[in-house]
């Protein structure tokens, strides 16, 4: 009898926990499909769904939101100072700075700035050469934030430079994601710490605030030196971007070097993340410096699950809905939700040249398969989906007409839209847009245009598999 009572109490507590989760879902859900799926699971299989929901079910990073609120006064002061010290170009009647770019300033809480110089870095070799050179020339401090850091040749070169710069009196702050860098040896970090660097993990650095919110990732990849030189893009710190291994497919990726006031925007994003992970607020250079050459207009757009709005999704929708002649998007992961897919179809139907470049070879088999299920919808509307052939394409680049281009870390999938902290540099400069156009044209020349037959002529088992995997889109 006592055992029966204990079982009944345990079951009762389990269903009470399930009802608490349902209550939270009803108050906070963002997509109806996801909410319904969770509620059905919680009621039907509470012993499985409750722990899964606690680990993966949240769509809003509550701990980060609270940390942002507590540190908001100081950050707001810095943002206000940043805007006062720079020339905002988001003028309603000025092309190309119309409403579509004004709204991005509001989403990112940062201004468009002029007097920047942006250098497009088209592969890992060019990117690492520029990163190493910038760190070698740093005189005061180096800020790093990367999703993946490896202890391979690139990682060892980074560590060697940082230790040498620390010996010269340069301050170093290194922030990494504990999931992305799960295989990074602790000895690597201890060496940097012993040399005087400040090192923090985005997840483990503030475990009290984080609690069960392990489904969120800091997917940003950025470097800032002295507050005047910055880098952002899709490249992590690892040898795979060099394609030097004999048994490895070459990786195709893109990064961007920025010199000028927009670097302060990168620094603000880094500071907020660092403050979350370490509860520290280091003193940095907040005086924007002008680039000696070039006049590129740049906006840095940080996005993430602590934002008031679904900033990343709204950014993509804003680009697609406002495209007039073309919208080209390169993304390694193509698992769009219904609103993004509908926007792409509408753009194509109104005569916009819509092209999506995705890899033929992928590091995620499920996402590669799921992409096939969108082919019929895409082809019917005239959306071109191209599969890049030479190797694994990992770049995240957007080209809107001949007006502006974006290089960053955000993919066309649910994780980037709602669960990851991402960052993108949007540049409205004719010279930069021309460079991006040439780069994507070269990528397209090495890509295969997919057709409906790529999906419809496959076996029924394959098509069912594609559709089944697509159901997992919110989790991929």
Q: How far is the C-alpha of 439 from the C-alpha of 437, rounded, in Å? A: 5
Q: Do domains 62-91+116-298 and 311-475 have the same CATH topology?
A: yes
- Tokens (6 digits) for 310: 């679904």
Q: What is the pLDDT of residues 361-417, one digit of tens each?
A: 888 778 888 888 888 899 999 999 999 999 899 999 999 999 999 999 999 998 899
pTM greater than 0.75: yes
122 is catalytic: no
More confident residue, 216 or 97: 216
Q: Considering the candidates 122, 159, 165, 396, report the single residue annotated as catalytic.
A: 396
CATH classification number, 311-475, choose in 2.70.98.30, 3.40.50.670, 3.30.870.10, 3.40.50.720: 3.30.870.10
HSE-up of 380 (CA within 13 Å, CB side)?
10
Query: Left (φ > 0), alpha (ψ -120 to 50) or beta: where does 174 sit?
Result: beta
CB 176 within 8 A of CB 243: no
Q: Considering the candidates 177, 307, 401, 413, report the single residue annotated as catalytic.
A: 401
Q: What is the pLDDT of residues 379-393, one digit of tens each?
A: 999 999 999 999 899
- Tokens (6 digits) for 408: 């960053």
- Tokens (6 digits) for 229: 């030189």
Q: How far is the C-alpha of 362 from the C-alpha of 432, rounded, in Å? A: 28
* Helix, strand, coil distribution of the chain in percent, nearest 5: 50, 20, 30
Rounded to an integer, the average pLDDT of 190-201 is: 96
Q: How far is the C-alpha of 123 from the C-alpha of 114, rounded, in Å? A: 26
Would you state the pLDDT for residue 212?
Answer: 47
394 is catalytic: yes
396 is catalytic: yes
CB 112 within 8 A of CB 88: yes
If you average pLDDT over every residue of the chain, what do you get?
86
Q: Considering the candidates 117, 122, 159, 226, report the single residue annotated as catalytic.
A: 226
CB 261 within 8 A of CB 286: no
pLDDT interval class at 354 (50, 70, 90): very high
pLDDT interval class at 146 (50, 70, 90): very high
404-408/397-400 β-pairing: antiparallel
165 is catalytic: no
Residue spans per domain, the chain: 2-56, 62-91+116-298, 311-475
Q: Considering the candidates 117, 165, 221, 296, report the single residue annotated as catalytic.
A: 221
Would you state the pLDDT for residue 52?
Answer: 75
Q: Considering the candidates 122, 219, 255, 296, report the single residue annotated as catalytic.
A: 219
HSE-up of 311 (CA within 13 Å, CB side)?
24
pLDDT interval class at 177 (50, 70, 90): very high
For the cut 60, the answer to whether the pLDDT of residue 92 exceeds it is no
Q: Considering the candidates 122, 159, 165, 394, report the single residue annotated as catalytic.
A: 394
More confident residue, 189 or 305: 189
Would you state the pLDDT for residue 65?
Answer: 57
- Tokens (6 digits) for 244: 């030097």
> What crossing angle do the helices spanning 62-85 and 262-278 adopt, rounded to 10°?
150
Would you state the pLDDT for residue 89?
Answer: 44
CB 376 within 8 A of CB 452: yes
pLDDT interval class at 473 (50, 70, 90): low
In the DSSP assignment, the letter for residue 249 is P
255 is catalytic: no
DSSP for 151-205, written as a single string = SSHHHHHHHHHHHHHHHTT-EEEEEE-TTTTTTS-HHHHHHHHHTT-EEEETTGG
CATH classification number, 62-91+116-298, choose in 3.30.870.10, 3.30.70.1530, 3.40.50.2300, 3.90.1150.10: 3.30.870.10
Q: What is the pLDDT of residues 19-76, one digit of tens each?
A: 888 887 787 776 676 677 778 888 877 877 777 777 666 666 655 655 555 556 677 7
401 is catalytic: yes
């Amino acid at each position: 009898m006592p055992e029966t009572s204990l079982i009944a109490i345990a079951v009762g507590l389990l269903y009470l926990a399930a009802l608490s989760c349902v209550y939270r879902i009803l108050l906070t859900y963002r997509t109806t499909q996801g909410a319904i799926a969770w509620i059905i699971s919680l009621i039907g299989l509470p012993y499985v769904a409750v722990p899964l929901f606690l680990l993966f079910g949240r769509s809003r990073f509550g701990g980060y939101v609270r940390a942002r609120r507590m540190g908001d006064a100081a950050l707001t002061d810095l943002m206000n100072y940043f805007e006062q010290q720079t020339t905002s170009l988001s003028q309603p009647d000025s092309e190309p700075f119309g409403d579509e770019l004004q709204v991005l300033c509001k989403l990112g809480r940062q201004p468009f700035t002029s007097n920047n110089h942006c250098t497009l870095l088209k592969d890992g070799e060019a990117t690492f050469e520029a990163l190493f050179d910038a760190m070698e020339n740093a005189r005061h401090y180096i800020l790093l934030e990367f999703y993946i850091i490896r202890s391979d040749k690139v990682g060892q070169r980074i560590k060697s430079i940082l230790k040498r710069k620390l010996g010269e009196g340069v301050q170093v702050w290194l922030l990494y994601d504990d999931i992305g860098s799960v295989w990074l040896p602790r000895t690597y970090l201890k060496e940097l710490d012993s040399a005087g660097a400040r090192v923090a993990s985005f997840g483990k650095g503030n475990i009290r605030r984080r609690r069960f919110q392990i489904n969120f990732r800091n997917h940003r990849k950025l470097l800032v030196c002295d507050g005047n030189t910055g880098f952002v893009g899709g490249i992590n710190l690892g040898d795979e971007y060099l394609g030097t291994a004999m048994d490895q497919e070459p990786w195709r990726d893109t990064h961007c070097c920025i010199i000028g006031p927009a670097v302060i925007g990168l620094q603000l994003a880094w500071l907020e993340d660092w403050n979350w992970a370490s509860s520290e607020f280091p003193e940095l250079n907040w005086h924007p410096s002008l680039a000696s050459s070039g006049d590129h207009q740049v906006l840095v757009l940080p996005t993430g699950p602590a934002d008031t709005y679904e900033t990343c999704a709204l950014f993509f929708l804003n680009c697609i809905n406002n495209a007039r002649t073309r919208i080209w998007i390169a993304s390694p992961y193509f698992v769009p939700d219904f609103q993004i897919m509908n926007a792409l179809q509408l753009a194509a139907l109104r005569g916009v040249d819509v092209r999506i470049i995705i890899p033929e070879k992928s590091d995620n088999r499920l996402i590669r398969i799921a992409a096939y299920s969108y082919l019929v919808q895409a082809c019917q509307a005239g959306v071109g989906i191209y599969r890049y052939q030479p190797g694994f394409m990992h770049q995240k680049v957007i080209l809107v007409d001949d007006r502006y281009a974006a290089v960053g870390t955000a993919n066309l999938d649910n994780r980037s839209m709602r669960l990851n902290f991402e960052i993108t540099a949007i540049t409205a400069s004719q010279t930069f847009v021309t460079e991006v156009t040439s780069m994507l044209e070269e990528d397209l020349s090495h890509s295969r245009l997919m057709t409906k037959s790529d999906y419809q002529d496959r076996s029924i088992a394959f098509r069912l598999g594609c559709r089944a995997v697509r159901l997992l889109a919110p989790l991929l």
